[in-house]
Each structure stands twice: as structure tokens, then as C-alpha cells.
Amino acid sequence: MKNKPIRLTLLLLGVLMLATFGPAVAQSQNSATQRPVYLDVRPVANANHSSLSDDLISSMARDKLASMDLPTISMGGQRLPPDVYVLRILYIVHRQPGHDELTLSASASTQLLRTDDRDGDGVVRAYSAYNGLQQVLVQGSDEQNVNMRLRDAFERQLKARISAAFLNQRSF
């Protein structure tokens, strides 16, 4: 009977230690295993337009990924490790001047890829986890206003595509 209070005290101490240090250990393990998202933004057919440049679209994507607590790395032709996500955004901007108004359109493909070395042979392959398309068309007589509206609408749609990519990804 004398050992019962000691056992109870040790058990209580163990539970308190787990409650105190368990979340900290789990959080450090999660941050250590969380891999960055590799970001690959490219214009199609040399269509880098001043309304939507590579840098601006990259910044939009990084802002959205940061709000989702996902670190990013620019691709820059790097060899990809296995078990990472690649967010690839291919886009084109078209400008059509008219007599009284300007028409700007932008289209983009947002693709989420996941890398894997399934065969264990050291060859990393990418598999599609999500693919979404967007298109924006803006018209107006004031070029500055049209450019701003195009950027705003494109950013809203891009952020929606990025959210959808991580929410609706397919497992492979």
C-alpha cells in the first residue's frame, strides 16, 4: 500500500511531462518533416507582359503559400528531391487594343506535382496531384485601370486555384 502513492505520483508526473513536452516534440517533428513547395512560374511563348510578370505572379503565389504556412523555394532548374510538391504556373497575357477601349486577357494553368522515387532507383519522377485552369478578360478605356483590374482578378483566381490544389490533391 505504501508504494501506491509513489506509483500514482510517478504516473501523474509522466502524464504532466507528456502534456507539457508532447506538443513541442510533435511540432518540431512536423516542422522538420515539412518539405518546401518548389515554385515554377513560366510565361508561355515568351508572353511575359508588364501587367503580369513572372516576379509578380511568383509574389502572388508566395503570399498565398505563406498564408497556408507552406515554405517555398524557386525552382531555378534545380534537381528535385523525392517527396516534395512542385507548384507550376504557366501563363499567357494577351493585349488587344481597340478604337475606344483596351482588352486584356490572361490565362493560366496551375499544376501541383508530387515527386517520388517509387522504384528506389534514384530517379525522381513527378506525378500530377492537381491541375486547374483560369482565364480573366478585362476591358476598359483607361489602360492603368484595366491593368489593375486584370492583376486583381488574376490574383483572386490564382489564390483560389492554389487553395484548391492543396485541398483537392490526388494521392498517387
Domain ranges of the chain: 1-33, 35-167
Instruction: Specify the pLDDT at position 151.
Output: 95
pTM of this structure? 0.74
What is the CA angle 59-63-66, rounded to 5?
A: 135
Mapped onto helix, strand or coil, the DSSP state of residue 70 is: coil
Closest CA to 172 of 123, 126, 120: 126
The CATH superfamily assigned to 35-167 is Lipoprotein like domain (3.30.160.150)
Instruction: Specify the pLDDT at position 3.
Output: 59
Ranking 20-29, 56-65, 110-119, 134-143 by mean pLDDT, the lowest is: 20-29
DSSP string, 79-142: PPPSS-EEEEEEEEEEEEE-SS-EEEEEEEEEEEEEEE-TTSSS--EEEEEEEEEEEEEEEES-
pLDDT tens string 20-76: 554 444 443 333 346 789 999 988 876 556 788 889 999 999 999 999 999 998 877
Q: At residue 19, does pLDDT exceed 70? A: no
Alpha carbon distance 150, 157 (integer Å): 11
Mapped onto helix, strand or coil, the DSSP state of residue 52 is: strand
Instruction: Specify the pLDDT at position 109.
Output: 95
Instruction: Specify the pLDDT at position 31.
Output: 37
Alpha carbon distance 147, 50 (integer Å): 9
